[in-house]
């Protein structure tokens, strides 16, 4: 699901303009905007005025301007993207309908059209559009009610509230002394079990539990999980007390505790630097046959891919914990909310050279989908999420490989000016490549010599040379980085640190 599918077309276009300018360092040619959005100059100018009207609701400094054929974003240093998006979503009829369904047992047609000031035909049309979106989560609106499993309903709303609302709004609505009391009890016994972000997600989740129980009797579906770790037992003690009030008298406590722990794992809420958390999560792999199967297969494949490199045991455990959380999410939850679509960070990760270097990401997510026996739609949704998570693991692994390119700089300048050029190179060389760089010395061996002189180096054994066209301008750096990237990969293979 794309988050901005909840908006009308004109507002979707405005969001695309905002994201396009963010992708291009806050400046973009108007012609590029028109081409990418398949629009025209007059429409884009109207959109700019509407965008600025939205900005004006919460910031006096944030503004989009069109000048000399370029679109500029004048920004402040306090506004977050989710605040911008929320100004659009909070006015959306479809978003309001979803929030109404969360706060009420069902939609009363007369009440909703009066509340939202819409016609019956608009309500029916928006309901149909919502059902197309909700199908990704195995949910639908039927006879005014949101129909689907309790797990999927909570999974959908946790993502909606997390991605569609500013942090402070969630904090104001869902933080409570009772939750802080529960967190303090957990911290006293086992240090910090959750990240700060994880604590906020927990607060939102418990707020969802409250809203769900306030408006209905929950019908639980038995999940094929049996959590038994000391981590789960510790949480169960604290949250049995949390749910002990008369308000939750109809609650199935065991099912509720299982759902709570599953959500904490699959939403990456735990502080994985805590040894108690690490050990607990590793124990829970065996709590679900499905997770155990997926995790065994994928972990083995990833470890094989990393086998030829030296990594610390702590790093390997960190990867394992990340995979455990991802595989619980993949096994039990369907659908996810994307904000940037194909320009999002997951898709960017997949295209990075380190992900292509390991050449395993697509094989991994295809295997997961086969093991889960997913239909085409569920497969597409899951791949959109987990492909980026696997690519992120390879990205981190690539950064932890103990190998450096040795670069010598042979420049036709005196020493001080040469050092200035070297400083410029350090700023421009791709940060993902590990390297050492120094002024060229004839008795040293290098992997590459960067020079502005076309000359021979007879004493070098395995060295490549890159001759810069200009040290004054930046025209060389794109080609230099592609050259260094290719050389880095080839040297890894040739050195035996990578076995192709």
Question: Between 476 and 498, where is the model more confident?
Answer: 476
- d(C-alpha 11, C-alpha 13), whole Å: 5
Q: Residues 378-425: pLDDT tens digits?
A: 998 888 888 878 888 887 887 777 788 999 999 888 888 889 999 999
Query: What mean pLDDT is predicted for residues 11-28?
Result: 88
> Phi then psi for 67, rounded to 5 degrees?
-145, 130
Tokens linked to 392: 């992120």
CB environment 467-487: b (16+ within 10 A), e (fewer):
ebeebeeeebbeebbebbbeb
Which of 81-85, 163-167, 343-347 bottoms out in mean pLDDT, i.e. has the lowest? 343-347
If 0-12 CB within 10 Å is exposed, 13-18 middle and 19+ buried, where does residue 128 land?
exposed
Strand 448-451 vs strand 405-410: parallel, antiparallel, or unpaired? parallel
Band (pLDDT 50/70/90 cuts) for residue 485 is confident
pLDDT category of residue 473 using cuts at 50, 70 and 90: confident
The token duo for 415 is 């020493």
Alpha-carbon distance of 20 to 4, in angstroms, equals 14
pLDDT in tens, 179-212: 999 999 998 877 899 999 999 999 999 999 999 9
Both tokens assigned to 62: 């944030």
Q: 3-79: which CATH topology?
A: Arc Repressor Mutant, subunit A (1.10.10)
- pTM to 2 decimals? 0.85
Mind listing the pLDDT tens digit for each residue in 339-389?
765 445 555 554 555 555 555 778 888 999 999 999 999 998 888 888 878
* pLDDT value at 79 more than 80: yes
R_g over Cα of the chain = 27
Which sequence spans correspond to the domains of the chain? 3-79, 93-266, 288-400, 405-495
The per-residue pLDDT for 358 is: 53
Q: Are 33 and 71 in contact (CB under 8 A)?
A: yes
What percent of the chain has pLDDT above 90? 64
Q: What is the pLDDT of residues 105-119, one digit of tens each?
A: 888 889 899 989 999
The three-state (H, E, C) secondary structure of the chain, written as one string: CEHHHHCCHHHHHHHHHHHHHHHCCCEEEHHHHHHHHCCCHHHHHHHHHHHHHHHCCCCCCCEEEEECCEEEEECCCCCCHHHHHHHHHCCCHHHHHHHHHHHCCCCCHHHHHHHHCCCHHHHHHHHHHHHHHHHHHCCEEECCEEECCHHHHHHHHHHHHHHHCCHHHHHHHHCCHHHHHHHHHHHHHHCCCECHHHHHHHHHHHHHHHHHHHHCCCCCCCCCCCCCCHHHHHHHHHHHHHCCCHHHCCCCHHHHHHHHHHHHHHCCCECCCCHHHHHHHHHHHHHCHHHHHHHHHHHHHHHHHCCCCCCCHHHHHHHHHHHHHHHHHHHHCCCCCECCHHHCHHHHHHCCHHHHHHCCHHHHHHHHHHHHCCCHHHHHHHHHHHHHHHHHHHHHHHHHCCCCEEEEEECCCCHHHHHHHHHHHHHHCCCCCCEEEEECCCCCCCCEEEECCCCCCCCCCCCEEEECCCCCCCCCHHHHHHHHHHHHHHHHHHHCCCCC
Mean pLDDT, the chain, whole residue set: 89
pLDDT computed for residue 499 by the predictor:
41
Residue 500 has pLDDT above 50, yes or no: no
Quick one: pLDDT at residue 345?
Answer: 52
With contact defined as beta carbons under 8 Å apart, do 76 and 61 qualify?
Answer: yes
* Separation between Cα atoms, residue 45 and residue 51, nearest integer Å: 10
Q: Is the pLDDT of residue 137 over 80?
A: yes
Rounded CA separation 272/389 (Å): 16
Please check whether residue 495 is in contact with residue 403, taking contact to mean a CB–CB distance below 8 angstroms.
yes
Confidence of residue 15 (pLDDT cuts 50, 70, 90): very high
How far apart are alpha carbons 341 and 19 in whole angstroms? Answer: 11
- Mean pLDDT calculated for residue range 282-298: 96
Across the range 63-87, mean pLDDT stands at 89
- pLDDT attached to residue 415: 86
pLDDT higher than threshold 90 for residue 154: yes
């Amino acid at each position: 699901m794309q988050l901005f599918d909840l908006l009308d077309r004109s507002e979707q276009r405005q969001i695309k303009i905002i994201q396009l300018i963010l992708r291009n360092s806050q400046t973009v040619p108007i012609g590029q905007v028109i081409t990418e959005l398949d629009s025209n100059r007059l429409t884009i100018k109207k959109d700019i005025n509407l965008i600025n009207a939205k900005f004006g609701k919460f910031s006096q400094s944030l503004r989009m301007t069109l000048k000399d054929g370029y679109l500029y974003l004048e920004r402040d240093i306090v506004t977050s993207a989710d605040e911008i998006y929320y100004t659009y979503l909070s006015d959306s009829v479809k978003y309001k309908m979803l929030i109404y369904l969360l706060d009420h047992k069902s939609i009363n047609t007369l009440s909703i059209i009066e509340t939202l000031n819409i016609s019956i035909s608009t309500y029916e049309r928006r309901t149909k559009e919502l059902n197309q979106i909700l199908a990704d989560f195995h949910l639908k609106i039927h006879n005014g009610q949101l129909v689907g499993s309790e797990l999927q309903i909570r999974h959908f709303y946790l993502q909606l509230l997390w991605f569609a609302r500013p942090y402070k709004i969630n904090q104001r609505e869902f933080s409570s002394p009772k939750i802080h009391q529960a967190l303090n009890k957990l911290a006293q016994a086992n240090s910090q079990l959750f990240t700060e972000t994880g604590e906020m997600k927990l607060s939102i989740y418990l707020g969802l539990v409250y809203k769900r129980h306030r408006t209905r009797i929950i019908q639980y579906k038995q999940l094929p999980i049996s959590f038994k770790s000391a981590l789960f037992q510790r949480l169960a003690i604290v949250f049995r007390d949390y749910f002990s009030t008369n308000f939750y008298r109809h609650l199935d406590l065991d099912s509720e505790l299982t759902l709570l722990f599953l959500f904490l794992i699959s939403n990456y809420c735990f502080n994985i630097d805590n040894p108690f958390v690490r050990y607990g999560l590793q124990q829970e792999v065996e709590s679900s046959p499905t997770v155990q199967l997926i995790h065994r297969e994928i972990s083995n494949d990833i470890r094989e891919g990393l086998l030829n490199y030296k990594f610390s045991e702590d790093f390997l455990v960190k990867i394992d914990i990340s995979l455990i959380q991802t595989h619980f999410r993949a096994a039990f939850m369907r659908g996810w909310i994307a904000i940037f679509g194909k320009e999002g960070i997951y898709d960017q990760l997949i295209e990075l050279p380190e992900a292509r270097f390991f050449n395993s990401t697509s094989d991994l997510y295809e295997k997961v989908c086969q093991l889960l026996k997913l239909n085409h739609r569920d497969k597409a949704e899951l791949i959109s999420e987990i492909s980026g998570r696997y690519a992120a693991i390879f990205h981190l692994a690539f950064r932890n490989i103990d190998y450096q390119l040795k670069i010598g700089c042979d420049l036709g300048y005196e020493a001080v000016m040469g050092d200035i050029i070297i400083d410029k190179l350090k700023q421009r060389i791709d940060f993902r490549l590990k390297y050492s760089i120094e002024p060229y010395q004839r008795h040293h061996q290098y992997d590459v010599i960067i020079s502005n002189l076309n000359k021979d180096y007879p004493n070098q054994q395995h060295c490549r040379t890159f001759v810069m066209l200009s040290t004054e301008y930046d025209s060389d750096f794109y080609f230099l980085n592609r050259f260094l990237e290719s050389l880095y990969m080839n040297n890894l293979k040739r050195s035996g640190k990578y076995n192709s």
